């Protein structure tokens, strides 16, 4: 389970997240929505410490995965990122073959067993619903794939290192509707084995794929509830104004 | 105002217009029945098609709104409610049409004293008030009236229950012939059903405004509603 307690986050003097408390159950899909700059991506990136790369960042509060504070000094960030995979807005395959893209994480992790790697690559591509499309061209460059295929390749790459949590930062915003639909179907399938947290600007997508939705505004978590509740009868007026398009 | 809000307002206005037409149908059929005015009854029957057209138009406009604008939350609840309300209004108009046809066929015509005993005018007034109050509730987006409207349905039901005894006694005592008595009962049954449909409309308005589902709930727990017997 993911849990945050009293999270405050600063970029220099900018207070980007304000006292966020949230619990995310295993094997659920949680969507974060909100206007640009509301802090939803910043919050997402807390869970694999991607924000550590920002020099001026400051964090207070607790961010727990299965009860363990991932910001404790004893935590190995590389190991954490093996547990918490990430998929970005724009597909970012490496300039390598399709096979090597998926195998990359395993090789970095020191795995040398070729048969094990081959099996894991196939499993990951199958889990990412890409195997049938690429099984005959594994040695081709990943750049030969379409945008939607590249994004599924990136998902396969994330799956290959066997994470338990997958963070997705607008994973379909650069894709056409058919590729978007494939990614959404994939999220439904992956939920069985992974906990998925997704940031999206597409509210219909949040409604379609997630079990729970968190609405952020100006660094605050305004409302967090079952997705059906949020989209049928939100508690807060700010949420209603945002999802009905009356915001601002 | 956003254009999606303007579209919603247009949808609401369409339903309001249909509502006013159905209210007018009810008022006219009441007058036609009480005064045995066949000409007025014919007018009601002839305007029935306009109500049907409204229903089709609102149905189609609501479908388009959902397809084009993907409404959520209160907007979605409003569109869903408007679809159901327009269907219900059409059914109410069907009952008014049925009563009008009954008048035209000279079916139900109890004499003045019996009409009074049966409280048909009170029954008509009650359902007309239910329909107009629910119009106000939607127009003002206020569910405070809902308790009053639903309580009125109790009155309508009670009049209907009493009518069974009054009419069977009148038939037995030959104050009214059996055919006339049965047809009068059918008219009252239609009015009673109109009351039920008005209650359904109120339930839709509560769903839209308060996001509460009262349908099929014996204990409708909204603070604005009576707690029992709904």
Taking residues B56-69, report their average pLDDT: 94
Measured between beta carbons, which residues in chain B are less than 8 angstroms from residue A234?
Answer: 73
In sequence order, what are the beta bridge partners of A20? A7
Measured between beta carbons, which residues in chain A are less than 8 angstroms from residue B75?
Answer: 244
pTM of the complete model beyond 0.90: no
What CA–CA distance (Å, rounded) separates A100 from A138? Answer: 8
Taking residues A167-192, report their average pLDDT: 90
- Whether A248 shows a pLDDT value over 80: the answer reads no
Task: Decide: helix, strand or coil at residue A133.
Answer: helix
User: A196, A142, A148, A208: which is closest to A172 by C-alpha?
Assistant: A148
Cβ within 8 Å of B, A 193-232: 203-204, 207, 230-232
Measured between beta carbons, which residues in chain B are less than 8 angstroms from residue A240?
Answer: 73-74
What CA–CA distance (Å, rounded) separates A24 from A9? Answer: 19
Residues of chain B contacting A, Cβ within 8 Å: 2, 4-5, 70-77, 211
Q: What are phi and psi of A151, to 5 degrees?
A: -65, -40
Per DSSP, the residues of A178-204 read: HHHHHHHHHHHHHTTTSEEEEE-S-HH
Tell if the CB–CB gap between A232 and B76 is shorter than 8 Å: yes
Q: Which domains does chain A have, with CATH numbers?
A: 2-93+164-243 (3.40.50.300)
- Whether B107 shows a pLDDT value over 80: the answer reads no
> Rounded to an integer, what is the distance from CA A110 to the centroid of its chain?
25
User: B184, B183, B118: which is closest to B156 by C-alpha?
Assistant: B118
User: B210: domain range?
Assistant: 3-229
For A75-84, A111-120, B101-110, which range has the lowest pLDDT when averaged over its residues? Answer: B101-110
Tell if the CB–CB gap between B72 and A244 is shorter than 8 Å: yes
Which pLDDT band holds residue B145 (cuts at 50, 70, 90)? Answer: confident
What CA–CA distance (Å, rounded) separates B3 from A198? Answer: 30
Which pLDDT band holds residue A48 (cuts at 50, 70, 90)? Answer: very high
Q: What is the CATH number of the domain that holds B196?
A: 1.20.58.220
β pairing state of A195-199 and A29-33: parallel
Radius of gyration of chain B (CA): 19
What CA–CA distance (Å, rounded) separates A61 from A49? Answer: 14
A67 shares contact with chain B (CB less than 8 Å): no
8 A C-beta contact, residue A160 and residue A103? yes
Q: Is the dihedral of CA A108, A113, A116, A119 positive or negative?
A: positive
Q: How many other C-beta atoms lie within 10 A of the C-beta of residue B149?
A: 25
The pair of structure tokens assigned to A175 is: 């894709």
Widest CA span of chain B, in angstroms? 66
pLDDT tens digits, one per residue of B16-36: 999 999 999 999 999 999 999
Tell if the CB–CB gap between B74 and A243 is shorter than 8 Å: no
Tell if the CB–CB gap between A244 and B71 is shorter than 8 Å: yes
β pairing state of A14-24 and A2-11: antiparallel
pLDDT of residue A3: 96
Measured between beta carbons, which residues in chain B are less than 8 angstroms from residue A233?
Answer: 73-74, 77, 211
pLDDT of residue B223: 40
Which pLDDT band holds residue B230 (cuts at 50, 70, 90)? Answer: very low
- Whether B114 shows a pLDDT value over 90: the answer reads no
Residues 6+ apart with CB under 8 A from B150: B199, B202, B220, B225, B226, B230
In sequence order, what are the beta bridge partners of A60? A8
- Provide the H-helix boundaries in B36-145: 38-69, 73-104, 112-118, 120-139
pLDDT of residue B47: 95
- Whether B225 shows a pLDDT value over 50: the answer reads no
What CA–CA distance (Å, rounded) separates A193 from A173? Answer: 24
A60 shares contact with chain B (CB less than 8 Å): no
Helix pair B178-210, B146-172: axis angle to 10 deg = 170
A32 shares contact with chain B (CB less than 8 Å): no
Domain count, chain B: 1
Tell if the CB–CB gap between A232 and B211 is shorter than 8 Å: yes
Predicted complex ipTM: 0.73
Measured between beta carbons, which residues in chain A are less than 8 angstroms from residue B2?
Answer: 245-246
């Amino acid at each position: 389970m993911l849990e945050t307690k009293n999270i405050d986050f600063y970029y220099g003097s900018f207070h980007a997240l304000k006292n966020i408390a949230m619990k995310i159950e295993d094997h659920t899909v949680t969507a974060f929505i909100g206007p640009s700059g509301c802090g939803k991506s910043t919050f997402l990136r807390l869970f694999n410490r991607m924000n550590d790369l920002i020099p001026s960042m400051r964090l207070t509060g607790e961010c727990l995965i299965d009860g363990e504070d991932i910001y404790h000094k004893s935590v190995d960030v590389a190991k954490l990122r093996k547990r918490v995979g990430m998929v970005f807005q724009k597909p970012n395959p490496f300039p390598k073959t399709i096979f090597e893209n998926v195998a990359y994480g395993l090789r970095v992790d020191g795995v040398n067993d070729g048969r094990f790697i081959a099996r894991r690559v196939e499993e990951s591509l199958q889990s990412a619903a890409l195997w049938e499309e690429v099984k005959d061209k594994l040695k081709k460059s990943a750049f030969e794939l379409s945008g939607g295929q590249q994004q599924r390749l990136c998902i396969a790459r994330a799956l290959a290192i066997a994470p338990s949590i997958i963070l997705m930062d607008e994973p379909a915003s650069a894709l056409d509707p058919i590729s978007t639909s494939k990614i959404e179907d994939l999220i439904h399938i992956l939920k069985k084995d992974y906990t998925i947290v997704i940031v999206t600007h597409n509210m219909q997508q949040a409604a379609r794929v997630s079990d729970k939705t968190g609405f952020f505004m100006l660094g605050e978590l305004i409302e967090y509830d079952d997705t059906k509740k949020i989209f049928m009868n939100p508690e807060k007026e700010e949420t209603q104004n945002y999802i009905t398009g009356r915001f601002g | 105002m956003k254009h999606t809000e303007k579209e919603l307002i247009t949808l609401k206005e369409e339903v309001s217009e249909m509502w006013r037409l159905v209210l007018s149908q009810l008022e006219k059929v009441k007058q036609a029945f009480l005064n045995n005015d066949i000409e007025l009854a014919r007018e009601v029957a002839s305007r029935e098609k306009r109500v049907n057209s409204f229903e089709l138009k609102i149905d189609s406009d609501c479908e388009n709104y959902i397809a084009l604008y993907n409404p959520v939350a209160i907007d979605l609840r409003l569109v869903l409610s408007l679809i159901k309300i327009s269907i219900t209004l059409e059914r109410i108009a069907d009952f008014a049409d049925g009563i009008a046809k009954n008048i035209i066929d000279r079916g139900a015509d109890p004499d003045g004293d019996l009409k009074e005993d049966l409280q048909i005018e009170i029954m008509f007034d009650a359902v007309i008030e239910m329909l107009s109050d629910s119009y106000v509730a939607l127009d003002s987006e206020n569910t405070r009236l809902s308790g009053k409207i639903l309580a009125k349905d109790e009155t309508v039901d009670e009049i209907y229950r009493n009518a069974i005894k009054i009419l069977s006694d009148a038939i037995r005592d030959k104050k009214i012939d059996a055919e006339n008595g049965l047809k009068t009962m059918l008219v009252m049954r239609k009015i009673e059903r109109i009351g039920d449909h008005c209650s359904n409309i109120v339930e839709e308005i509560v769903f839209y405004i308060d996001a509460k589902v009262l349908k099929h709930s014996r204990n409708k727990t909204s603070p604005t509603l009576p707690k029992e017997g709904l």
